[in-house]
Amino acid sequence: MKAKVFEIKKFAVHDGDGIRTTIFFKGCPLKCVWCHNPEGLSSKTQLAYYSHKCINCFECVKICPNNAHIINNGIHEYVAKNCINCGKCEEICLGNAIKIYGKDYTVDELLKIVLEDKVFYDNSGGGVTLSGGECLLYANFIKDLFIKLKNHGINTAVDTCGFIGKDQIDKIIDYTDVFLYDFKAYTSKTHKNCTGQSNDIIIKNLEYLDKKGKNIEIRIPYVPNYNDFEIEDMIKYLNGIKNITKIRILPYHNFSTAKYQSLNYENTMPSVVPTNEEIENIKNTLRKISIHKIVD
């Protein structure tokens, strides 16, 4: 059994408690307009070409077996339809302009990588977080990985959008210590406008995890003009979910524009980013109405 991963981030400190290794899986059932990991949307391997980094060394033209890199009027050009994702050009690109997103790993290959840092997890109260994309699209794979991590005494977390079948949650629930749970809108209408899908399933799954007594950390992206007008209603609803240990407000940023260009995607990222003052004000307001801890 293999799973497609687009990034393995070591020494992560924002994906749960302590020092962690975060593994990002390919494929997502939502399409958030503000997505800052567009390389995680498709479940397929993709070549991203960052044209602004290209230094026209033409090493890729020489090595590509399928003419996906050509020279046009003395300038390098990438022809996506010819690419078979063999990865040869990524290895030799002198400008670091080519990145292959999506490599297949077995459970034991990932286990070997995360065990390298076990001493850091042990000393910091950290562990391993699985993210994406939507990692629970690989629930069978995750179950096997988490059972092995538990045998090594390692804390496990998933970062999920919640838009998945309950049967997928049931496969991993007994081996997952923490659910980092994204909550993006209060009404179904707003959720659909922001992500392309209603939040009915997400709310049902959240209430199911609460009923099961799981440790839930809520993550709310704060996006002006998209979900900011529902934040207080979201917090009031979350007051009824008793097993939430903390709520994190994530200010929207638009640093990922180059990724959209490199993948030849339409850039859907909103233009308005919140100010630091706006974020502090909203956190102070929420602290007054939330029974849960609002953290930075």
CB 103 within 8 A of CB 46: no
Cβ closest to ligand SF4, residue 104 vs residue 233: 104
**Secondary structure letter of residue 248 according to DSSP:** E
Of 4, 36, 69, 283, which lies in the binding site for ligand SF4, with binding defined by CB under 6 A? 69
Q: How far apart are CA 73 and CA 121, in angstroms?
A: 53
Out of 19, 28, 64, 111, the only residue in the binding site for ligand SF4 (CB under 6 A) is 64
CB of 263 to ligand SF4, least distance (A): 14
What gap in Å lies between CA 168 and CA 162, rounded to an integer?
10
In the bound state with ligand SF4, the residue whose beta carbon lies nearer, of 58 and 208, is: 58
Q: Indicate whether 68 belongs to the interface with ligand SF4 (CB under 6 A).
A: yes
Exactly one of 19, 23, 97, 282 binds ligand SF4 (CB under 6 A); that residue is 97
In the complex, minimum distance from the CB of residue 214 to ligand SF4, in angstroms, rounded to a whole number? 41
How large is the C-alpha radius of gyration of the chain?
20
- Alpha-carbon distance 144 to 165, whole Å? 18
Interaction of residue 66 with ligand SF4, rule CB under 6 A: yes
Q: Which residues pair with 221 in a beta bridge?
A: 250
Note whether 185 and 162 are within 8 A (CB): no
Q: Which stretch binds ligand SF4 (CB under 6 A): 59-67, 153-161, 252-260, 271-279?
A: 59-67
Q: How far is the CB of 52 from ligand SF4 (least distance, A)?
A: 11
Cis peptide leading into 162, omega within 30 of 0?
no
54 binds ligand SF4, rule: CB under 6 A: yes
Q: Report whether the peptide linkage leading into residue 133 is cis, meaning its omega lies within 30 degrees of zero.
A: yes
Residue 36 vs 88, nearer CB to ligand SF4: 88
Find, among 219, 220, 215, the residue nearest to 231 by Cα.
220
Q: Tell me if 128 sits within 8 A of 9, measured CB to CB.
A: no
Least Å distance, CB 104 to ligand SF4, is 15
**Which of 11, 56, 165, 254 is the binder for ligand SF4 (CB under 6 A)?**
56
Q: Is 89 in the site for ligand SF4 (CB under 6 A)?
A: yes
Longest Cα–Cα distance of the chain, Å, equals: 64
Q: Does 264 bind ligand SF4 (CB under 6 A)?
A: no
CA distance 92 to 80: 18
Identify the residue among 4, 20, 36, 76 touching ligand SF4 (CB under 6 A).
76
- Could you say which residues in the range 34-53 bind ligand SF4, by CB under 6 A? 47
In 3D space, the residue among 81, 92, 100, 86 whose CA is nearest the CA of residue 42 turns out to be 100
84 binds ligand SF4 (CB under 6 A): yes
Binding site for ligand SF4 (CB under 6 A): 47, 54-60, 63-64, 66, 68-69, 76, 83-89, 93-95, 97-98
